[in-house]
Structure 1
Amino acid sequence: MGYADPLGEGWCQTELEVGEQHQQQDGFVHAGVQATMADHSAGTAATLIGPGQYVLTVEFKINLLRPARGERLNCRVQVLKPGKSLIVVESEVYTQKLVSKATVTVAVLEKP
């Protein structure tokens, strides 16, 4: 997909080269790989936080829209609702087409 910049305020784009270890028994990208990519990327986009803070996922839901097959996965992430204690993020995972979509809620916590 070739993005000029993979990260901005409240959004990010990530990419994964798919290997055999990412596939389930029928050759599709495993749902767990898609969920991990969606969650991890959401945490990156949600870093609209202050010094001494960090984010931690408290909830996520993923819809697997079609079997994912291809050489790479791309994930586009956008913060939907920034907040002081909770941030809601949307992650979309693609091969050639949209294969899954997740809504991720992260808590904003203070470092000890």
Structure 2
Amino acid sequence: MVRRGQRRPRRRAGPGFARRGAERFVAAGHGAGWSLQGWLTEFDHDSGRWWSWWDLTRSGDRTLSLWVDAGAESFFACDDLRWAAYTAGAASVAPHVPRDRADWLREPSL
């Protein structure tokens, strides 16, 4: 019960694992993250995004690889992908590393 003059505690939207993921993203030094609308805008291909989703594979017992097609670019802005991984429940996210098609073929898709 809230008494007169007291403020209700603000309830944060989203499931607990997503909130914890957002906290891990910030703690890892990647910035403050995005509002939902801002993040969705990052995934709009017409807004200048240079990569496309490719696949998600299992590369170890507790390790997944998120594959994207970045064309010929060896570097691209990928904090939106890190944010997606963390808020989907990832405990940690390794830095972006270009890999060969042969590596992708060896890992089972999920």
Asked whether the two chains share a fold, i.e. TM above 0.5, the reply is: no
Decide which structure has greater strand share.
1
TM-score, reference length from structure 2: 0.27
Decide which structure has greater helix share.
2
TM-score, reference length from structure 1: 0.27
Structure 1 or 2, whichever has the larger Rg, is: 2
